Structure 1
């Protein structure tokens, strides 16, 4: 009987979405997959950052208190849209106003506004069964532009009420308190009850255009909050992802998904070597050269293929040339291995399934793809290796991050 209990506990610890998937030609086996809540559908929004960030928060809550919760992505989106409008007007419309963001924004919103369960704020007030924010974003942008035009000669005291009126109409009024499992909470007291600390997370990137092992202003359009990222060496980034999963912490990631290597085959993302010289060291023994059959597999991703050796220079060049863009956020929940024993990341994705936008799924991503096409990551600071944590200016669990913006090289 004790053995049965242990087996059940082990199964439950893998989480709701951790079961292996049958991918013909790869035969993936999940070996190091952490708890994650069910995949949710971001629908017609560009709020992947909110879905990925809150998915990480849900995994973190389970890690800490072994409690599964379903948090409201629209609570995060609503407050982000509000904060973005404030900045847009203060900047006289000289910044971008769109739905995008980065996963760090989730922590900033929770720190200021707390968080609520899905049932307390669903954010569906516009006649569709799934989230559709195209009209909402256009309405918010047009309204903010009207305010910026300043036809009265001075900004009125009514414009923020008008802003909230639009958000209330589309997403619903913000509750000051709500009932959850028989108890009354405010957003702040609910966050405290869950024991979640949004200040315990650090943003990380790795590009040669920024000083190494220093905090830098991360320049992508969706970083509207002007978050700083700690810039590490590429090999350290690889180590950090492995170290985090091995210690039981999931990771949020932003990367490029607009290229064909993400779209060729549903649920598998690879980075093919383009010629024999590019084949990474780990693959040379199995594939010493690229044959005609391998070329065929590279067109369809029918089976594992030799992948590209990723260097810091190649990664940086891809970023500066706009080949790698910050266009999607996902949640790394563990590792899996293909039939050859090659390790892949297991990814929780709110946006794509079978090539169709708007339906969440799980997918497998090769490490070369992650290293080449990613832009930024969010880690719990306790999951960061000690030597890197020290470089960040963090030496103890409750330390505050010491940041200073650095200019690019």
Structure 2
């Protein structure tokens, strides 16, 4: 009996020793401005891409400038409205978007600091577009129904007026650090060139090293993606981070093993570990291109959320995770790691829809294959 007790105690010690709580150390940490909250709005695409551009400005000029996320949102809604009307309602209109929508907006309208344009305009203390979007969508449906049998050319002005009421009018000139700028001259000062940014992804239903339009709901602007083999897709993310470039990420966060509260995103090998893996190191699934494609086509992987990759972490076993800046704020009751999520390589391989990077952040061979 005594031997059995000793054996049971020994086994319990071994099993408890295998259940290791995460202990993270920094591997790479590139400069980014502090984590902020997108509030009750579906504008993660602008918050993350603006954060990405803030890091680009640091890299290019050394300046730390808090950019206005809502300036790009304000100038993207009319584009989405036009797309909806001209497609006669056979398109999505809502709060979502993708990183290239910010790049397109920057090219067309420049950029401004957040001190110049908050997008709140006295409506809410935090961003909340639910009412505004509902009002605009009801207007757009009326335009599509076209009750007068001839659509008035003033409909775009009506949409702009609603946006002005809820978000504020676009600034045309402003002063920043004692100098006068327009949104375009401010863009020139930051040295951001919208033509320098490309989106890469990895799927098996299109040829490698070709650009294509990815059919996902938020790609209302028909943005092009460069397709790469999965290993090369991941290696380019790694190459960018290793060479001082941050990365803009579009991914699926609907998995139960993506947790802002726990601060990790992982893919367990065994489903029964889905709860435990949020706090304990468990074996992760091997992700193949075929599994990635299958999860995308059966709609298990969807483009839910955009975030900003700013570095890498490692756990006590030496396993590498991506340090991902989220836009859900820093409230410790809701998020861990000060608002960052540590994403495993397995999660990235399976659930990353795409990434946007500076073209010089790509590996030499990839740039050659893409003709960049």
TM-score with structure 1 setting the length: 0.83
Which segments of structure 1 move beyond 3 Å, counting only runs of 4 or more? Answer: 295-298, 352-357
Kindly indicate whether residue 287 of structure 2 is the aligned counterpart of residue 307 of structure 1.
no
Q: Determine the structure 1 residue equivalent to 2:355.
A: 377
CA 1:65/1:356 → structure 2, altered by over 3 Å: closer, same or farther? same
Of residues 339-348 and 119-128 in structure 1, the stretch that sits farther from structure 2 once superposed is 119-128
Q: Which runs of 5+ in 2 are unaligned?
A: 1-19
Of residues 25-34 and 62-71 in structure 1, the stretch that sits farther from structure 2 once superposed is 25-34
Contact 2:212–2:227 (Cα < 8 Å) also in 1: yes
Alignment of 1:238-317 (within 5 A): 238-263=234-259, 266-274=262-270, 298-317=275-294
TM-score with structure 2 setting the length: 0.91
Give SS of 2:38's match: coil
Contact 1:56–1:251 (Cα < 8 Å) also in 2: yes
Which of 220, 224, 229 is residue 225 of structure 2 equivalent to?
A: 229
Q: Determine the structure 1 residue equivalent to 2:317.
A: 340
Of residues 258-267 and 164-173 in structure 1, the stretch that sits farther from structure 2 once superposed is 258-267
Kindly indicate whether residue 339 of structure 2 is the aligned counterpart of residue 328 of structure 1.
no
Kindly state the Cα deviation for residue 296 of structure 1 after the two structures are TM-superposed.
5.9
Q: State the aligned residue count.
A: 351
Alignment of 1:13-162 (within 5 A): 25-162=21-158
Q: Determine the structure 1 residue equivalent to 2:8.
A: none
Which of 342, 345, 356 is residue 364 of structure 1 equivalent to?
A: 342
Contact 2:268–2:274 (Cα < 8 Å) also in 1: no
CA 1:306/1:354 → structure 2, altered by over 3 Å: closer, same or farther? farther
Q: Which runs of 5+ in 1 are unaligned?
A: 1-23, 276-294, 395-409
Give the root-mean-square deviation of aligned CA atoms.
1.8
Q: Determine the structure 1 residue equivalent to 2:6.
A: none
Q: Deviations over 1:151-179 (max 9, x none)?
A: 11211122111111100000001111111
Give SS of 1:333's match: strand
Contact 2:261–2:334 (Cα < 8 Å) also in 1: no
Q: Determine the structure 2 residue equivalent to 1:388.
A: 366
Q: Deviations over 1:259-311 (max 9, x none)?
A: 10113852111110028xxxxxxxxxxxxxxxxxxx66853522211101000
CA 1:215/1:206 → structure 2, altered by over 3 Å: closer, same or farther? same
CA 1:74/1:306 → structure 2, altered by over 3 Å: closer, same or farther? same
Q: Deviations over 1:285-343 (max 9, x none)?
A: xxxxxxxxxx6685352221110100000000000000000010000000011111111
Kindly indicate whether residue 178 of structure 2 is the aligned counterpart of residue 179 of structure 1.
no
Of residues 155-164 and 42-51 in structure 1, the stretch that sits farther from structure 2 once superposed is 155-164
Give SS of 1:176's match: coil
Give SS of 1:378's match: strand
Contact 1:297–1:303 (Cα < 8 Å) also in 2: no
Give SS of 2:104's match: helix
Q: Determine the structure 2 residue equivalent to 1:319.
A: 296
Q: Distance in 1 between matches of 2:261 and 2:150?
A: 54
Contact 1:40–1:360 (Cα < 8 Å) also in 2: no
Q: Distance in 2 between matches of 1:147 and 1:127?
A: 26
Give SS of 1:119's match: coil
Q: Distance in 2 between matches of 1:360 and 1:151?
A: 51
Q: Distance in 2 between matches of 1:138 and 1:389?
A: 43
Q: Distance in 1 between matches of 2:282 and 2:369?
A: 37
Q: Deviations over 1:29-87 (max 9, x none)?
A: 11211000011110011111111101000000000111000000000111111111111
Of residues 98-107 and 149-158 in structure 1, the stretch that sits farther from structure 2 once superposed is 149-158
CA 1:176/1:296 → structure 2, altered by over 3 Å: closer, same or farther? closer
